[in-house]
Amino acid sequence: MARLFGTDGVRGLANRDLTVDIAVKLAQAAAVVLGEDARARGLKPKAVIGRDPRISGEFLAAAVSAGLAGSGVDVFDAGVLPTPATAFLTADLDADFGVMISASHNPAPDNGIKFFARGGHKLPDELEDRIEAAMAGDLLLPIGGGVGHVTRFADAEDRYVVHLLGALPNRLDGLKVVVDCAHGAASGVSPEVFADAGAQVIVIGADPDGLNINLGYGSTHLSALQTAVLEHSADLGIAHDGDADRCLAVDHNGAIVDGDQIMAILALSLKERGQLARNTLVATVMSNLGLKLAMQEAGIEVIETKVGDRYVLEEIRSGGYTLGGEQSGHVIFSQYATTGDGILTGLKIAAEVARSKKPLAELTKAMKVYPQVLVNVPGVDKTKVSTNQVLQAAVAEAEADLHGTGRVLLRASGTEPLVRVMVEAADEGTAQSWADRIARVVEQQLKL
């Protein structure tokens, strides 16, 4: 039987893959596993639940709330809020766990359910496996006073806004910022907090109707933000995804600033102020080579993890580091957040522009972006990537030719018989040429 939990909770097409029945059973099982410590102390477990504005979130949130309350959990319904807000509020309320109903950057018909453990941290695989096992068993449900209350978390948004403003190193007075909310969960909070921080705010993509989330706006569709920044002569633009755990930016020229560039700028800023723990940045193997070289030049160590913000988080927590993230715009500030927070990231990058009195375009010069070419090779035996000698010889030949000005990365897909070939080089032609050559070797050597 396939595992229900994926890399970031349970996700699928709402009302097909992710039904009311599954949502209720998942909530009941989570109540058993994640409420265990509270019940052992003779207390009712507490849970915070939030959602993004997609239409299916309404019935899924109702189903999850019913499943939790029917299992003896007191539920605090925070309504429409970003994923990092739900994580923060879980910790701030000292709840036993949190639940977020969202499919992040996916289109509106999809949805998902993800859980946060006490303190607002993502669940380890072991807890997810226990929840799945509990779903298959018989659940003894309480009656009478044993059931839980469902309460509207009335000041949830205000608590989160105060938290974000408290994380700012300086105000944003004098900055004109375009904020693109992807018609998602950031639509209420992000414009408010940027304005409260002193910025002049132009808002786009902040009219969610339940069906338009991520549609033509947000971090996966940056052209609208680029146009708005140029049209309004703004200092910069900030783009979130549907649940606002990501942030990408646009400089005053309309050029895109990705997660690697954002991390480079913020790592240098934190180091300058003595706030970069152990002079270390945590990134994934997919981060641009330019990030690693820029950090090396600045005396900052880069620790690489597998792709996925959960692995970045694990490394940050185990090593006590301050900053980490992904090229996609998941950026984690461990002092202020337990997960990627797109609004916090946007505030931090805007604050650095204000503090330094340098345009974002100038700040990005701290890192040279190397051309990065990705070729997917389907229908191959991905288990033999590291053992096929002909393939490894081809990789070694490419790396020798690039002699320190590029790199080759082969990644097996986690869900299908597919290998991803990524090549970076000083110029795009060289990167494309080597990526195509190695992809042909993968196809020839590993064909099923």
Radius of gyration of the chain from its Cα atoms, rounded to whole angstroms: 23
User: Has 233 been labeled as part of a binding site?
Assistant: no
- Residue 306's closest CA among 292, 276, 285? 285
- Residue 70's closest CA among 29, 18, 11, 39? 29
User: Has 104 been labeled as part of a binding site?
Assistant: yes
Contact 240, 182 (CB under 8 A): yes
Contact 164, 81 (CB under 8 A): no
- Residue 265's closest CA among 178, 325, 195, 182? 325
- Residue 247's closest CA among 323, 156, 170, 347? 347
3-state secondary structure of 13: strand
Distance CA 445, CA 448 (A): 9
Distance CA 16, CA 275 (A): 47
Residue 132, burial from CB neighbour count under 10 angstroms (0-12, 13-18, 19+): middle
3-state secondary structure of 50: strand
User: Has 245 been labeled as part of a binding site?
Assistant: yes
Which position among 56, 104, 219, 269 bears the catalytic label? Answer: 104
Distance CA 248, CA 267 (A): 16
Helix (H) or strand (E) holding 194: helix 189-196
- Residue 4's closest CA among 200, 146, 136? 136
Phi, psi at residue 32, to the nearest 5°?
-65, -50
Query: How is residue 289 written in tokens?
Result: 């080579």
Neighbours of 203 (CB within 10 A): 18
Contact 241, 184 (CB under 8 A): yes
What is the end-to-end Cα distance of the chain in Å, rounded?
23
User: Has 71 been labeled as part of a binding site?
Assistant: no
Q: State the amino acid at position 381 in one-letter form.
A: D
Contact 238, 350 (CB under 8 A): yes
Query: How is residue 69 written in tokens?
Result: 């309350």
Contact 408, 399 (CB under 8 A): yes
223 is catalytic: no
Contact 113, 177 (CB under 8 A): no
What residues contact 285, with CB distance under 8 A and at least 6 apart? 304, 305, 306, 307, 409, 411
- What amino acid positions are annotated as catalytic residues? 104
Which residues define the annotated binding site?
A: 104, 241, 243, 245
Which residues define the annotated binding site for Mg(2+)?
A: 104, 241, 243, 245
